[in-house]
A and B are shown apart, each in its own frame.
Chain A
Amino acid sequence: MRLLVIEDEDRLSGILKSKLGDVGFTVDIASSTLDANAALELINYDAAVLDLGLPDGDGLAVLAAARRIGKALPILILTARDAVEDRVAGLNAGADDYLTKPFAMSELIARINALLRRPGGVLGIKLEAGNVRLDTVGRELTVAGTPVRLSRRELAILEQMMRRFGRIVPKTVLEEKLYGIDEEPDSNPIPVHVHHLRRQLEAANASLAIHTIRGVGYILAETRL
């Protein structure tokens, strides 16, 4: 997996390169908008991490240029600016996610993985968290290597949770995703499906647990050892 990190601070880009390298990414560094534009044009990166404050211009210009030449790769903005206007401007310009400095490296890696897992993303087909693997196309689930059978609804719920692993999945999002999954009238509300899913994960000794955040939604997280 090849990433472009656009960052002018040498020390930070060095750390990013080594850290992201540790988890299996191939990282190129661009330290100016000129370099970044050239790199994005030449190479089809799987994702890019973009710092907004660059010595020869605004990172948003790089973003706009990439989108203009038809590059659809996920781009995560990394910046020290945290004013709402900046965030809105970044997302409006076509960024896929936004992370403010200072950040934990684990968070950055999780966000990049989440972007890659999006439908259409490179990791979109096979999701993996803990000892749970889900093939979203073949609809096959294995826990610690053993196949587990789930209903379509439970699979759909699990897929949403794995795509946003470690982050909240609002109940409303689940409702939207489940709506129209098939035409059979279904009286079971989402909590019932989640309850079944949770029991089956437990039964299969999954290293993941579904936490209910009452009033908001669910979080899939690794069980503490």
Chain B
Amino acid sequence: MPNPPEGSVPLTWDAEILAALLAEIGVSHVVTLPDNTSAPLLEAISLRADLRLLLGTREGEVISLAAGLWLGGCSPMVIIQNTGLLEAGDSLRGTASRMGAPLLMFVTCRGYEKSRTLGREPGDVEVTRDLLVRSDLDSVAHMTESTLRAWGIPFLFLRDPADLDTVRDAWKRAHEEERPVALLLDTSFTQGPRDHGLG
């Protein structure tokens, strides 16, 4: 995966545009457990009549519920934090992955910014005991990509607001290959529907 430009800052997103894109590509349900990053996107989704937002109580439940939606004939996706991805491991393995279900997973990247301020790209760092206990680093950032690889989950990064085709590509790949595909949201949403004065 290419590294972001040196000295770059988190890019801002229009959550409403992304929510509209999800509806455009055919998502029926968004199953999620909120985190700090996803709140603006979840708000934008909740305002759309063509997307049903479902909140779970834990990420493993979110994955299994989404798998059930697919079994029932729907086209779900999930939005979870990378910490929640780890929690959902066996659910993901035993439902969506084992069923061969096309599941798009937005995974927010907790800890990535913290790692970069210290000059580290999270996916390139060996996970040592010292790294795991450091309070100035968020260990989940250093486990996210390697965990996805270990679980056989292809992943892409969403970093460029002009690159929404990556969302389409991830959705398409999940359906063509009949498997979960993760899109790591390596950015933050700072604009929700209200910022556009749309009410």
A binds B: no
- Residues of chain A whose beta carbon lies under 8 Å from any beta carbon of chain B: none
Residues of chain B touching chain A, judged by Cβ–Cβ distance below 8 Å, are: none
